[in-house]
A = this chain, B = another copy of it.
């Protein structure tokens, strides 16, 4: 069990027993789906895995003379412990990850530097849009009196976004600097590799 959706399920069930559909609704309503990848199919799968692992258990299947039958799940003691341990580990120990931009940077030599500069400028505007979007929503929540702890994940995203913006700006000048810019050398090397195949 390494799907983080499972952690969200465990966490939500600490509030009260729920059925999967309700969990999914809450996940979206509270915007946790921005931080934890969610789709309904995965949710049902994860819930079954949690049952198998003994971390949650079905407490009832209710039908309020309404819609399809719904199974309600509750957290077990083991589930509560596992949830806490899991969270502790995620906070205490940084893990190596593979963001898409890192992958792209590692292979960026295949593009011509002029094109790269244009693409980086495009990225800057995208990042900037994300940044204003997030910071506005954070400020709106704070203005409504919400405790900043509930926005801490977005605050983190903002910090990373700003670092990335700074990095991109720096990268552009590294390429284009008229004195020491990497552009010319890069372009030359690029021409080489484009000729050689034929």
Contacts and interface: CB of A to CB of B under 8 A. Distances in A.
Copies of the polypeptide in the assembly: 2
A166 B156 contact: no
Contact of A116 (B91, B97, B119, B166): B91
Nearest to A104: B90
Interface stretch (A46-54, A55-63, A146-154): A146-154
Given A99-B99, A182-B149, A91 B111 contact: yes
A101 B83 CA distance: 15
A87 interface: yes
B159 A166 contact: yes
Given A34-B96, A90-B101, 20 more contacts: A7-B103, A14-B110, A84-B110, A87-B107, A88-B115, A91-B108, A91-B116, A91-B120, A92-B119, A93-B123, A94-B101, A102-B153, A103-B153, A109-B149, A148-B174, A155-B167, A156-B167, A159-B164, A160-B160, A160-B163
Q: Which of A94, A100, A163 has the most CB of B within 10 A?
A: A94
